[in-house]
Amino acid sequence: MNLFLQQLVIGLSIGSVYALLAVGYALITSIFNFTNFGYGAVMMCGAFAAYFAVVKLGFPTLIGLVFAIIFAVFISLITELVAYRPLRKRKSPRLYLMITAMGFNIFLLNLAVVLLGANVRYLPSTFSTDSIHMGSIVVSALDVYSLFASLISLAVLWVFLYLSKQGLAIRSAAHDTDTAGLMGINVNKVSLIVFAISGITAGIAGTFMGMKYTVYPNLGDIANKAFIASVIGGMGSLPGAVLGGFILGVIETMVSGYISSALRDLFSFGIMILVLIFLPNGIVGKKVQDKL
């Protein structure tokens, strides 16, 4: 029972980071109908910015987090302005956008290898790193911090999307970008907000993943898990992304704890395949239907 509870807390912690990243995917998918496979690289850039701030400049972790967010937002906006927007302007098929995103990911990853080297770097945390005892279970403080940071970010994002004017604009553009334009919504402005939000989530996730797994150019591969989470939840659905993130995080840690951590990824991808076979739209994804 103790093992179960302990794995559950760790699973929720990892799941919350997946959820945060999956929301970053889902926001862009819902509006522009393509998966931003450049997202992992954006997260990696955020992690390196945090590393630079904490290790090279000696700032505390919180300032490192701010560095990560700012740099990830910057990179995210650059991808939108340089890579995606010109393609949308030419009304390119969304497959081209997806391929461009992958190319961007490969480019940034290799640029990081060339400029910074492929070796792993330890990103220390100036937060208390003691283990936290909750009754009979022991979890690392870092897991608890990342759980809270993710939950707070998700709550702030929810408030923004559901209670602000720009949030309403984003939700209407997510449903129908052409009609949103007819309502006076500038879709290019919405895109900047959305890519900035996805940069923020990538910066937060990058910092916590960097502290958990160290910082290295391939760190962005974790974002693939978030992509799986968003497929499980339902592509383009924000509640689905959050749900999928938590489900995947908990299942992964349970598999690592009870079966074998070597089989973890097998289960992650296996679940995705099962979901695609039995629930092609994901758990809460919108159904594809003809519109009059």
Partner 1 sequence: MSVLLDVNSLEVYYGGIHALHGVSLRIHEGEIVSIIGANGAGKSTLLRTIAGDKEAKSGTISFQGERLPNASHAVVSRGISLVPEGRRIFSNLTVKENLKVGAYSRKDGKDSIAEDFEEVLELFPRLRERIHQMSGTLSGGEQQMLAVGRALMARPRLLLLDEPSLGLAPIIIDELFEKIQQLNRLRNQAILIVEQNAFLALEVSKRVYVLKTGQIVREGLACDLADDPSIQQEYLGLA
Residues of this chain that interact with partner 1 (CB under 8 A) are: 165, 168-169, 171-172, 174-176, 178-187, 286, 291-292
Least Å distance, CB 21 to partner 1, is 23
Burial track 268-280 (b if 16+ CB lie within 10 A, e otherwise): beebbeebeeeee
Which residue in 51, 167, 38 sits closest to 109, CA to CA?
38
Which residue in 248, 197, 155, 148 sits closest to 26, CA to CA?
197
Least Å distance, CB 104 to partner 1, is 27
Amino acid of residue 214: T
Please say which residue, 114 or 168, places its beta carbon nearer to partner 1: 168
Please say which residue, 239 or 257, places its beta carbon nearer to partner 1: 239
Q: Give the angle 10-195-29 at the CA atoms, nearest 5°.
A: 75
Please say which residue, 142 or 169, places its beta carbon nearer to partner 1: 169
**Any bridge partners for residue 131, and if so which?**
140
Calpha distance 257→259 (Å, rounded): 6
Please say which residue, 176 or 280, places its beta carbon nearer to partner 1: 176
Residues with Cβ within 8 Å of 254's Cβ and at least 6 positions away in sequence, in order, are 4, 7, 8, 11
Please say which residue, 115 or 182, places its beta carbon nearer to partner 1: 182
Q: Answer yes or no: are the C-beta atoms of 62 and 128 closer than 8 Å.
A: no
Please say which residue, 152 or 176, places its beta carbon nearer to partner 1: 176
Please say which residue, 181 or 257, places its beta carbon nearer to partner 1: 181
Cα–Cα separations (whole angstroms), residue 278 to 46, 227, 241, 271, 273: 36, 18, 18, 11, 9
Least Å distance, CB 175 to partner 1, is 5
SS3 140: strand
Least Å distance, CB 189 to partner 1, is 9
SS3 272: helix
Least Å distance, CB 83 to partner 1, is 22
Least Å distance, CB 144 to partner 1, is 35
- DSSP letter assigned to residue 121: B
Least Å distance, CB 176 to partner 1, is 6
